[in-house]
Amino acid sequence: MLGIEDGGMLADFAKAEAESPSPRKQVDQSRIIYKSRRFRRPGKAKGYGLPSLCDFGESRIGATQDSNPFVQPHMYRAPEVMFDMPWGSAADIWNLAGLIWDLFEGEHLFEDVFDARGGHDPFKHFALMVALIGDPPSEFIGRSETTGQCFDTNGTWIAQEDAAIPLVSLDSLEKRLSGQEKQLFIQFMRSMLKWMPEERKTAKQLLDDPWLL
């Protein structure tokens, strides 16, 4: 979010809305949607202000945290969070991989993880993870009893009745690159998308990744 140095922008915005209200549609008894209205540009010698970090409602401080199902949006949720394991900053690295894929490829990497009614389907989600990064190691399986709903003790998928492992891969889903550039990008993604949180690259290590240099 950006700060506002030119306070008149807010007054002009309110005036424009009062004089010409934005189109709106009542979706149901509890919700109305509105067409977006742009702010005017800042006046001379003024800018939009400095970037502000915000939305800390679900942020956490510390090396590790107890499980919490609401720390990440469904399609960005790290496997340790989904399996009710303690999690730490490495969960953000999983998030980062999903965000980079979104921005670069123009679509969500873990998009097909919802049921017919739009609810999150964890079995489809884990099946897609297996397709993209392989079976989880037995050490990961041993960190939570809930992993037994999807995997045996060796990390083999056993939830075929709930979701089949899709025939996709990072290579097949990546459409924009070719040759060595594609190989480096896939390698970059794999360095963040790992079952074991401690095996994911840190943010500092990612800055030195060959794909970014």
Q: Answer yes or no: is 59 within a domain.
A: no
User: For residue 163, what are its two tokens?
Assistant: 């979701």
CB count, 10 Å around CB of 15? 11
Distance CA(200)–CA(98), nearest Å, equals 14
CA atoms within 13 A on the CB side of 195: 22
Residues 39 and 90 in one domain: no
Q: Answer yes or no: is 163 within a domain.
A: yes
Residues 115 and 45 in one domain: no
Q: Answer yes or no: is 85 within a domain.
A: yes
| Interacting residues of 194 by C-beta distance below 8 A, sequence separation 6+ | 133, 200
Which of 13-27, 49-63, 170-184 is the most confident on average? 170-184
Classify residue 16 by burial, with Cβ atoms within 10 Å: 0-12, 13-18, 19+: middle
Residues 48 and 8 in one domain: yes
Q: Answer yes or no: is 103 within a domain.
A: yes
pLDDT tens digits, one per residue of 83-123: 999 999 999 999 999 999 999 999 999 999 999 888 999 99
CB 191 within 8 A of CB 198: no
Residues 77 and 150 in one domain: yes
Residues 69 and 46 in one domain: no
Residues 84 and 26 in one domain: no
CB count, 10 Å around CB of 155? 19
The CATH number for 187's domain is 1.10.510.10
Q: Answer yes or no: is 109 within a domain.
A: yes
Domains identified in the chain, total number = 2
Using the 3D structure, point to which of 35, 54, 73 is the last residue of a domain: 54
Residues 153 and 188 in one domain: yes
Range of the domain at 169: 64-212
Residues 10 and 102 in one domain: no
pTM of the model: 0.73
Please state, rounded to an integer, the average pLDDT across all residues of the chain: 91
Q: Which residues carry out catalysis?
A: 6
Give CA separation, 117 vs 29, 114, 120, 121, 166, in Å.
Answer: 21, 8, 9, 10, 20
Residues 69 and 3 in one domain: no
Residues 12 and 75 in one domain: no
Residues 24 and 86 in one domain: no
pLDDT tens digits, one per residue of 132-154: 999 999 999 999 999 999 999 99
Q: What totals of helices (H) and strands (E) does the chain contain, helices first? A: 8, 4
Residues 161 and 131 in one domain: yes
